Amino acid sequence: MSSPEVFPAAGYPPPGDDLQRLWTPHRMVYIGGQAKPKDDAPASCPFCGIAPEDDELRLVVARGVTCYAILNLYPYNSGHLMVLPFRHVSSYVDLTPQETTELATMTQTAIRVITAVYRPAGFNLGMNQGEVAGAGIAAHLHQHVVPRWLGDANFLPIVARAKAVPELLADTRARLAAAWPPSPSQDPHEEPS
């Protein structure tokens, strides 16, 4: 029996390979860690002290009384936002009862709004507690709300560690903010309890 024919590796892949390039230079800030706060103090925290007049620029979608919603700068999918307390607090068990309630109700509102705007097939909700658990900004608790579509975890993120996000963040913010119902804090006729 003859041995199988062996082809030399030279020449593979062909000189003009057919890989698609997805250029995402903005992600270097994330990969290189420059976007990480220098310490855990509120003064260094990207989630603290956002002035209401900067909501559009800073991608704040909605404000409640104790909590607010902001787009994720490095989304897994279009519409990926976070609900979080205004207060600089790292642990879920340290939320006040009012913060706990509003975090939950704003998460429900986020699901309704994203559903109305983007019609996803499902959601991932979650909080990473501590850097070891995957929290990018561990010092300031935030709940991820990630819309999911069938096939959105295809070969691209799994094999290439890249994620195509088809809509610019400013456009996502505008669509979600427009669909978000007014909160009690924004209604002059209703005092927050």
Residue 79 Cβ, how far from Zn ion at the closest point, in Å? 23
Q: Give the type of residue at 53.
A: E
Q: Site map for Zn ion, 3-32, x if CB under 5 A?
A: ------------------------------
Note the residue count of the chain: 193
Pick from 80, 140, 142, 175 the residue near Zn ion by CB under 5 A.
140
Structure tokens of 106?
A: 């704003």
Asked if 71 and 172 touch (Cβ cutoff 8 Å), the reply is: yes
Give the Cβ contact number of residue 183 at 10 Å.
20
Binding mask 92-131 for Zn ion (x = CB under 5 A): ----------------------------------------
Closest distance of CB 37 from Zn ion, Å: 9
Copy the structure tokens of residue 60.
């704040």
Residues 163-182 that bind Zn ion (CB under 5 A): none
Interface with Zn ion includes 135 (CB under 5 A)? no
- To 10 degrees, what angle do helices 97-118 and 169-179 make? 110
Nearer to Zn ion by Cβ, of 85 and 120: the residue is 85
Out of 35, 36, 45, 179, the only residue in the binding site for Zn ion (CB under 5 A) is 45
- As a whole number of angstroms, the distance between CA 163 and CA 57 comes to 23
- The reply to whether 88 sits near Zn ion by the rule CB under 5 A is yes
Minimum separation from the CB atom of position 139 to Zn ion (A):
6
Burial class (CB in 10 A: 0-12, 13-18, 19+), 36: middle
- 68 part of the interface to Zn ion, by CB under 5 A: no
